[in-house]
Amino acid sequence: MSLTIFFEVILSLVVIYALLSILVSLLNEFLISITNTRGKVLFAELQTMLKDHYNLDYAYLLYSHPLVSELPRKNKSHHPVWIEASTFAPAFIQTIGNLAVTYQLPMATDEKNGTAELMTRFRLYAEQMQGSRLKDMLLNFHSVANGDYAKLEAQLKDWFNNQMASLTFEYKRKQRNKLLFFGFVITLFLNVDSIYLAQRLAKDPIMRTGVSSKSTAVLEHFKPMVDSLQAQYPKDKTIQQNAAKFNQDYNLIMKQLDSANVPLGYSKTSVPYVWFSKDKQKISSDFRKELSFMNVFLYLAGLAISMFSLSRGAPFWFELLSKFVRIKSGGGKS
């Protein structure tokens, strides 16, 4: 196999994975939009920070603060999907400070102005809390700020950002399992056997050029969609409307693959049906027609490769595809 053919086979596979992984990512986004996973994960993380068993659930109270409760969301029963550190810090200081007002904690009159008042309230409330780690943290934040409101906010922002960094990591780890599941669904649904595809691409120059020549068009056509994956399913649409949209995207992608004659799906002449066909002699291709241990093994391995590849998600494959396209166009010039 010459280097050019090898490159084209790989490029073709990347194009196929890129297109199919859009479906995986879309299914995942669809699920996330129905279940508001992002909002829930964020709230759960804030509860680990702010729900104090010895005192109150300050995450809940933070969410009832107008700075947070007025954030855009699907409806009143959805958590906002994201809170900025610059929103969190003042909202949290005010949530704690307002409790001092609610509980009518006495305050000296000379402390009643500007941000100093807010900081005093913050301290007053923290001081009367039952002993807890959160209480210690709040009092420490207040001491370190040393009367400087901006410093108090800065510490809270840092604290929030650090927590959110670990949250993002945790969130991605959780998403990986879901993507794996949807990779599995698409692989089975479309009978995506990577080994077979690679072999066909290597043997069939028409299919190879057909797919690889699409690389630029696919990149240009679908990159914007991949970039805006999170916004693919409008929050104000019903599930049926969003499902219809998914169906539309699905057809668009399948049209691309069909027009390049990529062998996907199930037919009497394809693995695994062909193994059980009575007149396999008549089928022209001799490709893994026989039911043997080796063929079954290759088939399952091909499916497994597809499943893991697709579960990397569309952003990964489009990133790779754009690199290939750059190499290809660069190579063309030299």
Partner 1 sequence: MINAHIHIFNYHFIPEDFLKVRLDGILGSKADFFLRLLSSKAGRKLLKILGAQRLFPKVTRYAEFLNVGLFETQDQLLQHIDKSYQGLNTSYVLLTLNMDYMSDQGLKGGPKIETQLAEIMDIKRRLGNKVYPFLSIDPRHLGGAELDAWIKQKWATGYFSGFKIYPALGFYPFDERLKPMWEFANANKLPVTTHCTRFGVNYIGSGVWNLIGTRPLSVNPDPVYMQPIYERIQRYRNYQGPARKDIQGNAWACNLFSHPSNYEPILVKYPDIKLCLAHFGGAEEVLAETLFKGKTEDEVKMLDNGVGNAAAYISWFELIKIMMAKYPNCWTDISYTLENTKTFPRLSAVMKSPIADRVLFGTDFFMELQDKDESTVLRNFLNAPDFSATEKLQLYEVNTHRFV
Q: Is residue 52 at the binding interface for partner 1, with CB under 8 A as the rule? A: yes
Give the interface size with partner 1 as a residue count (CB under 8 A): 28
> What residue type is 292 in one-letter code?
S
Which one, of 90, 91, 73, lies nearest residue 82 by Cα?
73
> What residue type is 189 in one-letter code?
F
Is-contact 318 222, C-beta < 8 A?
yes
User: Which region among 3-11, 180-188, 238-246, 277-285 touches partner 1 (by CB under 8 A)?
Assistant: 238-246
What residues numbered 259-278 form the site for partner 1, per CB under 8 A? none
Which listed residue (5, 57, 85, 116) binds partner 1 by CB under 8 A? 57
Which listed residue (5, 56, 185, 229) binds partner 1 by CB under 8 A? 56
Which one, of 165, 161, 119, 168, lies nearest residue 144 by Cα?
119
User: Which region among 46-54, 141-149, 220-228, 305-313 touches partner 1 (by CB under 8 A)?
Assistant: 46-54
> Bridge partners of 281?
none
Is-contact 18 319, C-beta < 8 A?
no
* For partner 1, the closer CB: 34 or 165: 34
Neighbours of 300 (CB within 10 A): 13
What residues numbered 76-135 form the site for partner 1, per CB under 8 A? 76-79, 98-99, 101-104
C-alpha count within 13 angstroms, C-beta hemisphere, residue 11: 26
Which listed residue (2, 177, 228, 238) binds partner 1 by CB under 8 A? 238
Please state the closest distance from residue 285 (CB atom) to partner 1, in A: 45
List, in order, residues 6 or more apart from 289 with CB less than 8 Å away.
Answer: 274, 275, 280, 283
* For partner 1, the closer CB: 73 or 328: 73
Binding site for partner 1 (CB under 8 A): 34-35, 51-57, 60-61, 63-64, 69, 75-79, 98-99, 101-104, 238-240
